[in-house]
């Protein structure tokens, strides 16, 4: 713990869960209300409110982190009763295309407050941010990820199965 937030090898940690959604998400990555195929079967995440909209304004549409990528690296840890140790610990880069809202049923995971890396009130489990991994094509499951604890950092949008910047430019919030 560092300033009340979980860290691993000096890096900030985050909690993770998995979800499946057929909507375009809070970054507008789809047509009408359906997802683009890559927003369903590639490495994309819904970020907790405090990371989705780092301005602190509470935006639920087109947050400032839409289209940015984060490298998530499992630490080997997990929350008892909420997941298991990851089978693979290699980092994966995900694009933020959705919001994990801080209300029911997500309060314990997604209700961290404050600026990540700064003054923050962590979520129920002690993490400064949370990532809900899109699992529509079982992409998290295929990596043996059952809600692992991860370190996180912003990263270029590169990597196998990570949406490209050109994919992002098709989203409503990229304009």
Measured CA to CA, the distance from residue 149 to residue 95 in angstroms comes to 18
Active-site choice (41, 53, 119, 132): 132
Measured CA to CA, the distance from residue 93 to residue 98 in angstroms comes to 15
Strand partners, 44: 95
Q: For residue 105, is the peptide bond before it cis, meaning its omega torsion is within 30 degrees of 0?
A: yes
Verify whether residue 21 is a known catalytic residue.
yes
Place of tokens 């094509």: 137
Measured CA to CA, the distance from residue 18 to residue 26 in angstroms comes to 16
Phi, psi dihedral angles at 121 (to 5 degrees)? -100, 110
**14, 79 Cβ separation under 8 angstroms:** no
Which residues are known to be catalytic?
Answer: 21, 132
């Amino acid at each position: 713990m560092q300033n009340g937030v979980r860290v691993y090898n000096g890096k900030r940690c985050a909690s993770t869960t998995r979800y499946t959604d057929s909507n375009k998400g809070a970054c507008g990555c789809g047509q009408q209300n359906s997802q683009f195929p890559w927003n369903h079967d590639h490495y994309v995440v819904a970020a907790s409110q405090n990371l989705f909209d780092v301005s602190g304004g509470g935006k639920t549409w087109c947050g400032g982190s839409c289209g940015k990528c984060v490298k998530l690296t499992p630490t080997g840890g997990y929350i008892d009763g909420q997941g298991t140790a990851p089978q693979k610990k290699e980092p994966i880069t995900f694009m933020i295309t959705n919001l994990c809202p801080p209300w029911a049923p997500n309060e314990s995971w997604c209700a961290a407050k404050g600026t990540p890396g700064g003054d923050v009130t962590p979520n129920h489990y002690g993490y400064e941010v949370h990532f809900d991994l899109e699992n529509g094509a079982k992409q998290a499951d295929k990596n043996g990820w059952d809600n692992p604890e991860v370190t996180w950092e912003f990263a270029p949008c590169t990597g196998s199965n990570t949406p490209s910047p050109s994919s992002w430019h098709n989203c409503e919030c990229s304009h």
